[in-house]
Structure 1
């Protein structure tokens, strides 16, 4: 695998995004991206806490299958949710802090994606880009219920209002998605600073280019800035390279 990860402050005064990757005892990869929220310094604390705490605990694990990993992720994301909630209630300057989270874990031949909030996961395979996650926003909830159209959701005044986030309530529900790895495919995690600044067709066009994974990641970020994104911009690309010696098995 080749991995690109980068976070940019963009047009904000502080960067509340955080992204990192971790390997466990069986070299099973997890990528975690968080977009913090709250007052000055609160959001960046929440996002960093979530990524590093979950990632550091992951480093001591090993998993037989995806079911076991999902159970672990559900438990540890909720433990971190409770920890952020307690810290926010203990310090007045951190009151209201929270964060989105999107995580991708590679277990054997499967990829597990879990998310809370509006940070996204996309899967790019055979030149087609698929959005894996659903945004937990007020506007998207209305769209899912059929009350507004997709176009109306994009321009709704509450399109950025989260209905789920980490650290705001004592218990949080996590959406999980499981799918098979594929040769020559790319998994992309990103904060809304990227997804709000780059349309899906342009994302797909950039990912199709015969450039290095680093070049494609930087071009995505440059286009988000050029298109007027006013938020922090964070992206993680995981390129599952084809292994010519795999004899039909998944590439390493």
Structure 2
């Protein structure tokens, strides 16, 4: 049986602002800084815990602020991982994580307000909780979750972008969306600062029986079509090869962004 795998690459950007979590493992500050040589960082994770937690966070902000914001997300989730094991149901685990997300948002907003070099920092967050044979996905921003099974891919999460909002309102077609300058502007993200506002993620409870879940930053989804993702996942002999090929293909683009992908095999 394949194990969950992750690959993360700086792409053609000066800083690596992506981060990820596989149960308790994430990119430390030292590793993020060493990504400046553009090396891929690969994790093969597995544990015997009852509850598993996987996440991708894509930072944004000037200088190094984006990488700080994404690291705050995964560090706090990593600290919450042991406490999460005490959850007696999937819904209880989700409720706990929503409280953690609100706490993370407060931390990012406070640091952004108090430290000039971190002003305006923020991050996206998409995560998967596996509780026995049940699954929940939480999403803020435009990092995504996909479900791949029987040579078919389905996007589970919905982006919190102006482009998606225009699609939902019927004001633009998908064909017209590429010409909409504000299509990537986020309207919900970690670091959203509004008095009295408690940030919460969208929740999804898909029935997943076989196949693979892909969590990824927009450095994957903006540069690979669904057909390309399906082609890679269908042809690869194992998930280690597949995750490496997804990232390698994405960062081969001329203006490649940071790219991070986690592949999680479903066990039932």
Match of 1:12 in 2: 13
Q: Distance in 2 between matches of 1:70 and 1:61?
A: 9
**Could you tell me the TM-score, scaled by structure 2's length?**
0.85
Match of 1:31 in 2: 54
Identify unmatched segments of 5+ residues in structure 2.
25-46
Equivalent in 101, 110, 113 of residue 86 of structure 1: 110
1:173 and 2:200 aligned: yes
Deviation at 1:180, TM superposition (A): 2.5
Between stretches 2-11 and 225-234, larger displacement belongs to 225-234
Q: Is the 8 A contact 1:25 1:60 kept in 2?
A: no
Equivalent positions of 1:1-252 (< 5 A) are 2-22=3-23, 26-62=49-85, 63-170=87-194, 171-183=198-210, 185-240=211-266, 250=268
Deviation at 1:137, TM superposition (A): 0.7
Q: Secondary structure at the match of 1:93?
A: helix
Identify unmatched segments of 5+ residues in structure 1.
242-249
Q: Distance in 2 between matches of 1:61 and 1:172?
A: 20
Deviation at 1:26, TM superposition (A): 4.1
Deviation at 1:222, TM superposition (A): 1.7
Q: Secondary structure at the match of 1:60?
A: helix
Runs of 4+ in 1 over 6 A off after TM superposition: none
Q: Is the 8 A contact 1:32 1:51 kept in 2?
A: yes
Deviation at 1:61, TM superposition (A): 2.4
Q: Secondary structure at the match of 2:106?
A: helix
Deviation at 1:17, TM superposition (A): 0.3
Aligned length: 241
Q: Is the 8 A contact 1:197 1:229 kept in 2?
A: no
Deviation at 1:210, TM superposition (A): 4.3
Deviation at 1:52, TM superposition (A): 1.2
Between stretches 174-183 and 189-198, larger displacement belongs to 174-183
